[in-house]
Amino acid sequence: MRLLVTGGAGFIGANFVQQTVRERPDVTVTVLDALTYAGDRASLAPCAQDVDLVVGDVADVDLVDSLVAGCDAVVHLAAESHNDNSLADPRPFLRTNVEGTFTLLEAVRRHGRRFHHVSTDEVYGDLPLEGSTRFTESTPYNPSSPYSSTKAASDMLVRAWCRSYGVEATLSNCSNNYGPYQHVEKFIPRQISNLIDGVRPKLYGTGANVRDWIHVEDHNRAVWAILERGRAGRTYLIGADGEHTNREVVEALLEIFGHPRDAYDLVPDRPGHDLRYAIDSSLLREELGWEPTYRDFAAGLEATVRWYQDNERWWRPHKDRTEQRYRALGR
């Protein structure tokens, strides 16, 4: 199989490509990535010999057409992915997430290729902090931020291209990922790199918001299960029952570093901050037999801390600029 992976130099994409090269020698991988501030060639270093990296934009019609023509299937991960950035400047989110997905859909329609669209649980909005309701495939869309609204728009395009043009596409909406190669702007790597630098972790608001954490390798195994065995036109929710308040995550990190559990700072909240996400992944488990392998969040977190300690050369070049941006936001 000749696979085109968009966004393959980002966090989830680089893990997906590395895993694919390791576990599936029959698959040839081409990556299309614009290498924005979030993409890093170094994330593909362990498999650089086996992967063709094309530096370019998913909204570039001619480039996308020629790459799609030369592949059997596309896994689409390229996106502007950070909520805080989307609040500061939404424009790139429209271009990459909406126009980029449209450009890919038109190309797979022309060439009759299989398409998998990687999306987020944030398209469903948020859930109350109290209670045990969870998102399912039939929860109505209700996005809150510029980021999640552009992801919701891209999901709608995929659904419409399936129904109206018969494009053979699947969608997945996953909860918060953690693991190696995640940009230091995101919650867990920001706090780990702060702790390595002797800086106290920063919690938005009161730290009571809940996220449903899944290890990036479990997400990527689910994407492969859907690519191989998922039904065209279907949406699958991906989640590993990993709900924790942000405060609990920071306390666990402080414990790993041997600091008092309350050695964090509360900083001004994110505008429109979604309260709680939680995924019901029964469909994926029952229909495709997927199960997470990282069941112990504390152990997964500790392994992630070790990775950041051992790979400072990978994240250090991004740290100062990221913290400058947060300082400007007062966070």
Contact between 81 and ligand TDX per CB under 6 A: yes
Q: Name which of ligand TDX, ligand NAD, none residue 239 binds, using a CB cut-off of 5 to 8 Å depending on partner kind.
A: none
Place of tokens 């570039």: 60
Phi, psi torsion values for 276, nearest 5 degrees: -145, 140
Min separation Cβ 176 and ligand TDX, Å = 4
Q: Name which of ligand TDX, ligand NAD, none residue 246 binds, using a CB cut-off of 5 to 8 Å depending on partner kind.
A: ligand TDX
- Residues near ligand TDX (CB under 6 A), total: 16
- Binding residue (CB under 6 A) for ligand NAD from 64, 79, 107, 279: 79
Q: Residue 25: is it exposed, middle or buried by C-beta count within 10 angstroms (0-12/13-18/19+)? A: exposed
Which residues between 264 and 283 bind ligand TDX (CB under 6 A)?
A: 270
Pattern 232-261, ligand NAD, x by CB under 6 A: ------------------------------
Contact between 186 and ligand TDX per CB under 6 A: yes
Is 125 in contact with 142 (CB distance < 8 Å)? yes
Catalytic residue among 124, 147, 178, 264: 147
In eight-state DSSP terms, residue 97 is I
Binding segment toward ligand TDX, per CB under 6 A, in 36-44, 58-66, 79-87, 304-312: 79-87
In eight-state DSSP terms, residue 212 is E
Q: Name which of ligand NAD, ligand TDX, none residue 100 binds, using a CB cut-off of 5 to 8 Å depending on partner kind.
A: ligand NAD
Is 78 in contact with 10 (CB distance < 8 Å)? yes
Binding segment toward ligand NAD, per CB under 6 A, in 71-79, 158-166, 278-286, 315-323: 71-79
Angstrom distance (rounded) from CA 232 to CA 14:
25
Binding segment toward ligand NAD, per CB under 6 A, in 61-69, 171-179, 252-260, 300-308: 171-179
Q: Is 121 a residue of the active site?
A: yes
| CA 286 vs CA 107, 135, 176, 187, 210: distances in Å | 32, 16, 22, 31, 26
Catalytic residue among 33, 80, 122, 251: 122
Q: Name which of ligand NAD, ligand TDX, none residue 34 binds, using a CB cut-off of 5 to 8 Å depending on partner kind.
A: ligand NAD
Helix axes 101-111, 146-165, angle to 10 degrees: 20
Contact between 78 and ligand NAD per CB under 6 A: yes
Q: Residue 302: is it exposed, middle or buried by C-beta count within 10 angstroms (0-12/13-18/19+)? A: middle
Pattern 118-157, ligand TDX, x by CB under 6 A: --x-x-----------------------------------
Q: Residues near 150 by Cβ (< 8 Å), separated by ≥ 6?
A: 80, 86, 90, 93, 94, 97, 98
Contact between 211 and ligand TDX per CB under 6 A: yes
Q: Is 212 a residue of the active site?
A: no
Angstrom distance (rounded) from CA 99 to CA 6:
14
| Token pair for 276 | 């709680």
Residues in the chain: 331
| CA 242 vs CA 90, 147, 149, 245: distances in Å | 29, 23, 24, 10
Q: Which residues bind ligand NAD (CB under 6 A)?
A: 6-7, 9-13, 32-36, 38-39, 57-59, 77-81, 96, 100, 118-120, 151, 174, 176-177, 183
Contact residues for ligand TDX (CB under 6 A)? 81-83, 120, 122, 176, 186-187, 190, 202-204, 209, 211, 246, 270
